[in-house]
Amino acid sequence: MFFVLFIVMFIVLIVGFVYLLTRFRRLVAHIYAPENKKGKILAYVFAGIPLLGLIIWSIVSPYYGAVFSLHLMIFWLFTDIAASIIRLIVKRPPVHISRAVIALVLTVIYMGAGYFFAHHVFETDYKINSSKDVEPLRIVMFADSHVGATFDAEGFEKYVKEMEQAGPDVVMIAGDFVDDDSCRADMVRSCEALGQMKSTYGVIYVNGNHDKGYSNYRDFTYDDLISELKANGVIVLEDEILELNDSYTVVGRLDMAYEDREEIGGLMSKTSPDKYTIVLDHQPRDYDAEAKASCDLVLSGHTHGGQMFPIGQFAVIFGINDAIYGQKTIGNTDFIVTSGLGDWAIPYKTFCISEYVVIDIA
């Protein structure tokens, strides 16, 4: 999916840069009004200067530059379409410099907001009323911290203290605690922060695709991560079941990246139907099976809330994910997908926020 996305984005960027060259050229031509051949060539030369800057930025820092350039292309295209509509109505389109200014301002505002929501974490609250006879339970859940990407261990410690103020009975981590680019020092310090977190039943963790990793260039392994988590008292569940208390059972699933992960039906057959069952499953991609297996609550991450519009929406349309954000109910099963504490690589979030989740069950 991501490989295809990158190929499509690369093609769109090439086409977009050609489009931007024509827009910059028209802007220069409007300012200098060259009539002769030499003047037209000069217009292209001057138009190439800002374009070259965008290309270099996109190469040096693709997640910043390429994403910004892509949105500049989109907003400029929209201003051109709007100008064409205006010309049909009033017979006189806005001048080229107005379109350029509007496109640039909209891009800066849009991407600035995206940067803000990627780097500021909010609390999102849910209340669930169970038909089962259970004692009240407060869960603080987060996913996709990707320690070392949006924030380092020091930043994670700050969020741990903030989440602790919610007074959790239990803390649950729904995968992608670390990133492919995380360093060992940040990983160790973040695990130590979890070990100091106060809650009644402790911290429970299931893995995500980035915890496992897609490469071997990290200075620690997945086994090192698990050892460090356990050394700090974190409960690690890999297709395992935990009897939390007399009212609740927690089922922790291996991420879908593992070919040998157990079917949810087999895991649920080992639980008591009288207890309220909470399933931790990093990727929200098994909803029908989890509803059929009579799970009470399924908590996931992975999607980053869609990260950037409309990527997440396409993932749902094409059946890659069953949901990208928020709460959903199928039969008697509640599903919650968090947009995540951090980000993987793209430092923007548009049409979504960064968050941790507080869930009250009664």
Domain boundaries, the chain: 2-117, 123-361
CA–CA distance, 118 with 348 (Å, rounded to integer): 5
Structure confidence by residue, pLDDT tens digits, 204-236: 999 999 998 887 789 999 999 999 999 999 999
The two three-digit tokens of residue 338, written as one number: 């968090």
Per-residue pLDDT of the chain (362 residues; tens, 9 = 90+): 556 767 877 888 899 999 998 888 888 777 766 666 666 677 778 778 888 999 999 898 888 999 999 999 999 999 989 888 888 887 666 666 788 889 999 999 999 999 999 999 999 999 999 999 999 999 999 999 999 999 999 999 999 999 999 999 999 999 999 999 899 999 999 999 999 999 999 999 999 999 988 877 899 999 999 999 999 999 999 999 999 999 999 999 999 989 899 999 999 999 999 999 999 999 999 999 999 999 999 999 999 999 988 877 877 887 789 999 999 999 999 999 999 999 988 899 999 999 999 999 99
The CA distance from 86 to 223, in Å, is 61
Computed over its alpha carbons, how large is the radius of gyration of the chain?
Answer: 24
Distance between CA 143 and CA 338 in Å, rounded?
A: 7
Q: How far is CA 81 from CA 31, 78, 85, in A?
A: 21, 5, 6
Q: How far apart are CA 311 and CA 352, in angstroms?
A: 12
Token pair belonging to 247: 């009212």
Alpha-carbon distances, residue 240 vs 16, 198, 251 (angstroms): 49, 23, 6
Evaluate whether 361 touches 128 at the Cβ level (below 8 Å): yes
Asked whether 199 and 165 are in contact (CB, 8 A), the reply is no
pLDDT attached to residue 32: 67
Closest CA to 120 of 362, 341, 360: 341
**How crowded is residue 292: how many other Cβ atoms within 10 Å of its Cβ?**
15
Sheet arrangement for strand 240-243: 240-243, 248-252, 276-280, 297-300, 333-337, 326-330
User: What are the tokens at 315?
Assistant: 């993932």
Q: How many beta carbons lie within 10 A of that of residue 247, not counting itself?
A: 17
CA distances from 291 to 67, 265, 351 (A): 37, 10, 28
CA dihedral for 281, 284, 288, 294, sign (positive or negative): positive
Structure tokens at 129: 């009323």
Position 292 scores a pLDDT of 97
Q: Give the span between the Cα atoms of 184 and 148, in whole angstroms.
A: 10
CA atoms of 14 and 7, how far apart (whole Å):
11
SS3 312: helix
**Total-model pTM:** 0.89
What is the 8-class DSSP label of residue 338? -
CATH superfamily label, 123-361: Metallo-dependent phosphatases (3.60.21.10)
Kindly give, in sequence order, each residue whose CB lies less than 8 Å from that of residue 156, ignoring residues fewer than 6 positions away. Answer: 145, 147, 186, 189, 190, 193
Q: What pLDDT sits at residue 312?
A: 79
